[in-house]
Amino acid sequence: LLHVTDVMPTFLEAAGAAYPQTLDGRPIRQPIGRSMVPLLDGTKQSIRENEGIGYELFEMRAYFQDDWKLLRLPEPFGTGTWELYNLALDPCEMHDVSAENPDVKAAMVEAWQRYAEANDVVDHEGRFDAAYRAAYGDH
């Protein structure tokens, strides 16, 4: 599992550089990405073992772990609720398997919440859903 946040740590390691710990005496939040150098040099097959990664942009949210993807798309682009997909069996994300896998979904939602808290993700409380519906209608 790779993510765009892995690019900077990869470049830093390849250049032999370190991410600064402070700026003007204040601590700097460290990057969440992982260096891909071990993949590129063949010393590892994965940079994340049993670890997920999430993202959020204007209430479009996702969390990936192993073969699973937890997804929340705001209305009218999606249901506005969390959906669960098994990417190994359904790479096109056609079938929400939340009902068949409630424990997986609950664990993924908890993992998303930990990711969101650790990364200061703002909960917009559905405001973008209303804006999207106003702009694009109810599809």
CB atoms within 10 A of CB 35: 18
pLDDT exceeds 90 at position 67 = yes
pLDDT reported for residue 33 = 87
Q: Where are the domains of the chain?
A: 1-50, 52-139
pTM of the model: 0.77
Q: Is the pLDDT of residue 128 over 80?
A: no
Sheet holding 60-65, edge to edge: 53-57, 60-65, 68-72, 83-86
Question: pLDDT tens for residues 94-104?
Answer: 999 999 999 99
- Does residue 113 register a pLDDT over 70? yes
Instruction: Please give the share of the chain, as a percent, with pLDDT higher than 70.
Output: 99
52-139 carries CATH number 1.20.810.10: no
pLDDT digits (tens, 9 = 90+) for 27-55: 998 888 889 999 999 998 888 777 888 98
